Structure 1
Amino acid sequence: MSNKIRWGVLGGGGDSLIGVLHRVAASMFDAYQLVGGSFNPDVEVSTAFAKEIGIPTNRIYKDLNALVDAELSMPENERMQVISILTPNFLHFPMAKKLLESGFNVICEKPMTMTYEEALILQAIQQKNGNIFGLTHTYTGYPMVRQMKEMIANGEIGEVQKVDAQYYQGWINNLIHDKEQRNSTWRLMPEKSGISCCLGDIGVHAYQMLEFVTGKKIKSVLADLNHLYADNEMDIDGTVLLRLGEFTKGVLRSSQIATGEENNFTVAIYGKKAALKWEQENPNYLYLLEEGQPMRVLKPGHAYNSDVSLDGTKLPPGHPEGIFDAMGNIYKGVAKAVRGQEFHKSEFPGMTDGVRGMNFIEKAVKSHRDGNVWVGLE
């Protein structure tokens, strides 16, 4: 029998971009074997998709309950070991809860849940059962993001004094101005998306990234969000002021109505001695800025990078890597954890990231609703 990790998937069928991303990522490093799942609420559609991608159909299930019941009836050395949740937001919590309670390891898309309270419930279950839980804040998988984190931790830029994250997209601009479309898109429906669209979808990436690379916790926020139309309940743009300490502050800007933008995610960390900047659309370049010195550009694959950065680099220097590779590094880290191997704490985001992310979303929305006031996260 194959020594690969037996992997199942919920959602992500058809032409789903996120489904392709996860399947390609899991295929890297030869660590996983896709054995089944439930790709679509219609089991016939799900079965047809399984045939299309070339996996057996005997473990294609009509829903989560059928999957759990069938898999638990199998010997432990045959059942699925890791299950990925690639469904719309409102299904993340009930699916993750059922899987964790049933003893499965989980990889989940973000946001982890619909509410902070749900996130705390999942955290308690995981702590009790000891499951591995990975959350796909994919950008942490980029080698130069990991290098950025290591350089900051080693004091190479000095004490952090200013942080700045921007995540701009323009895709909602194409539909928000049409009343019918803005009232029929699931991401703009609170019952399916949660209390936030923009912060919940992309702003939380920026929040997690700032805490990830700096190693610091954001302590309080002041948010000013934009809904653009009175009949739209969900934020589609927002600016959030941040306090990480008495003298460490910053700003987080996210938008889905930044006309013409594609996936413009940037992060800049300014220290006492130097600064580091990274851009998702040019992910193989990490910029180092120092007073009175020419800007330096660090690139992946070189010996000057940290061990965790080099571990996530698959190709020789000068060969660009991208989003599939970043997600592949997340899956690689989870595989190490599932197999009981030693792994670096930076290799995959987990439950704590999900809990803090949901707390950030709720507190930022509260800050806006209460009249743009400071709200503590701790």
Structure 2
Amino acid sequence: MGVNAPINRKLRMGLVGGGQGSFIGRVHSIAACLDNRAELVAGALSSNPQRAKQSAPDYDIADNRAYGSYEEMFDAESKLPDDTRIDFVSITTPNHTHFEIAKAAVEAGFNVICDKPMTFDLAQAEELQKAVEESDVVFAVSHNYTGYPLVRQAREMILSGELGEIQAVRAQYIQGWLRTKLEAEEQKQAAWRTDPSKSGAAGAFGDIATHAYNLGRYMTGLLPEQVSCHLKTFVEGRQLDDYGTAVIRYQNGGLGTVTASQISHGRENDVVIEIDGTKGALQWRQENPNEMIVRQNGEPHKIYTRDPNAPYTNASGAAASRLPAGHPEAFFEAFANVYTAAFDAMVQRAEGGSPARRDTVYPNVYDGVEGMYFIQQCVASSDQDAAWLPLQHDAARK
């Protein structure tokens, strides 16, 4: 069977962002190509045209497809023959640029994989949703934690009722890298993430709490109803929050919490989610991603390991695994699982099909809108002394 059957070729990738000094651009390029289903052939790697072209050799992009801007790339690639032009665009730039790039890509007919949060604000997200709905493109948002095998294992267990009715969700994302004011030292990643003109209305909550919130939505399928949030800026002189906690009321009567910190000493990238149901509970931790704990009163605790061949591994967990048990899979592979699910839809589109838009394995444009609504309502709630505000949005999964 050929690569990406039935089209029997690799999908061609165009990268926006990812120039010299970028972290996430390199992650996207590796993840996209990990399963030999795509190749990076073009790029607009920086908002600075000179730096964009200088960065191209780092990705082995040919000179004639190293563009000085995303506008130039979309225009030039659209004029290339069908068997040459890019199939999809990966957007790995700061938040405030996502909307204009993504909308231009959609309108040019290119599939899109956009880093999170999807846009700068909710209005942009809703406009982008409309643009996607008016097109036939595949649009994915890189909430990469949804790609871990045991997260997908847990999702299938929960949605099939193994844990009973879900009553509580506790999600946290704890880091410590912004304990000092790195933005004052012109550290690139800190500078734009703490700048409201580039990051948006939220700092830590926009950057990482969106991951924790999305993880709970993805794994449980619970629809949110209301949110009460406290955001805090502990580092003196910082413009955006670096710590916060939100309480969520779900439509089924359950409760959830989302806590995010970027100022906790010694914490690296500690994403943890605990889910309580009437029949059992589970816990998963990103820093130890190949194990999941399942608990039931009166029984020994069970440790599920990532094992695609084990009888307890369901179809979703097995499909997300590449290696036998005991060979750790982690960050790049999870990112690649988001890509490969989107690739399946892209291939279907290339064959003239109509891929699903909602309830996809990969996070989609509706999830992106929900994430922006979550940020907006959390900031508004915090400004009103943690007032309870609506968290229902039409983009929510049906």
TM-score band by shorter chain is over 0.9
- Residue 286 (1) aligns with residue 292 (2): yes
Contact kept? 2:226, 2:389, Cα under 8 Å: yes
The aligned residue for residue 363 of structure 1 is 377
- Residue number in structure 2 paired with 1:338: 346
Deviations 1:206-241 (A, max 9, x none): 110111000111211100110125643311100101
Contact residue 114 and residue 193 of structure 1 kept, 8 A: yes
Q: Among residues 269, 275, 284, which one is paired with 1:269 in the alignment?
A: 275
Q: Judge conservation of contact 2:222–2:252 (CA < 8 Å) in 1.
A: no
After the TM superposition, which of the residue ranges 143-152 and 38-47 deviates more from structure 2? 38-47
Q: For residues 344-377 of structure 1, give each alpha carbon's deviation from its aligned partner in whole angstroms, at most 9, with x where no partner exists.
A: 9553111011000000000000000012110001
Contact conserved, 2:43 with 2:61, CA < 8 A, in 1? no
Structure 1 residues not aligned, in runs of 5+ = none
Contact 2:179/2:235 (8 A) holds in 1: no
Query: 1:307 maps to which residue?
Result: 315
- 1:326 maps to amino acid: A
- Asked if the contact 1:113–1:358 (Cα under 8 Å) also holds between the matched residues in 2, the reply is yes
Distance in 2 of aligned mates of 1:337 and 1:256 = 35
Structure 1 residue 314 displacement after superposition: 0.3
Task: Give the 3 Å change call, closer, same or farther, for CA 246–337 of structure 1 in structure 2.
Answer: closer
Counterpart of 1:353 in 2: which secondary structure? helix
Q: Distance in 2 between matches of 1:201 and 1:82?
A: 24
State the secondary structure of the residue aligned to 1:121. helix
When normalised by structure 1's length, the TM-score is 0.95
Give, as a single letter, the amino acid of the residue that structure 2 aligns with 1:328. Answer: A
Structure 1 246/6 Cα, relative in aligned 2: closer, same or farther at 3 Å? closer
1:225 aligns with 2:231: yes
Alignment match of 1:95 (pick from 87, 98, 101):
101
The whole-number CA distance in structure 1 between the counterparts of 2:376 and 2:294 is 34
For 1:219, what is the secondary structure of its paired residue? strand
In 2, Cα distance between equivalents of 1:101 and 1:346 = 22
1:112 aligns with 2:118: yes
Q: For 1:315-330, what aligned pairs fall within 5 Å after superposition?
A: 315-330=323-338
Pairwise CA distance, 1:246: 5.7
Note the C-alpha offset of 1:284.
Answer: 0.5
1:185 aligns with 2:191: yes
Verify: 1:148 aligned to 2:162, yes or no: no
> 2:348 aligns to what SS in structure 1?
coil
Aligned positions, number:
377
CA distance in 1, matches of 2:373, 2:205: 11
The amino acid of 1:95's aligned partner reads: I
- Structure 1 vs Structure 2: percent identity of aligned residues? 37
Preserved contact between residue 165 and residue 267 of structure 1 (Cα < 8 Å): yes
Q: Distance in 1 between matches of 2:318 and 2:47?
A: 40
Partner of 2:248: 242
Residue 124 of structure 1: aligned partner: 130
Contact 2:91/2:112 (8 A) holds in 1:
yes
Q: CA deviation at 1:261?
A: 0.5
Conserved 8 A contact 1:169-1:256: yes
Tell me if structure 2 keeps the 8 A contact 1:85–1:92: yes
Contact kept? 1:175, 1:181, Cα under 8 Å:
no
Which whole-Å CA distance do the structure 2 matches of 1:182 and 1:95 have between them? 24
In the alignment, the residues of structure 2 paired with residue 208 and residue 41 of structure 1 have an alpha-carbon distance, to the nearest angstrom, of 29
- Cα distance in 2 for residues equivalent to 1:225 and 1:265: 18
Aligned residue in 2 for 1:12: 18
Question: What SS does structure 1 have at the residue aligned with 2:68?
Answer: coil
Identify unmatched segments of 5+ residues in structure 2: 1-6, 350-354, 393-398
TM alignment of 1:190-229, pairs within 5 A: 190-228=196-234
Give the 3-state SS of the residue equivalent to 1:253 in structure 2. strand
CA-to-aligned-CA distance 1:242-293 (integer Å, 9 cap, x gap): 1013631121111111111000100000001100100000000111000011
Match of 2:395 in 1: none
Q: State the alpha-carbon separation in 2 of the partners of residues 239 and 275 from structure 1.
A: 22
- Structure 1 residue 258 corresponds to structure 2 residue 264: yes
- Once the two structures are overlaid, the 10-residue window that deviates more, 1-10 or 220-229, is 1-10
Under a length normalisation based on structure 2, what TM-score does the superposition of the two structures give?
A: 0.90
AA paired with 2:173?
Answer: Y
Equivalent in the alignment of 2:304: 298
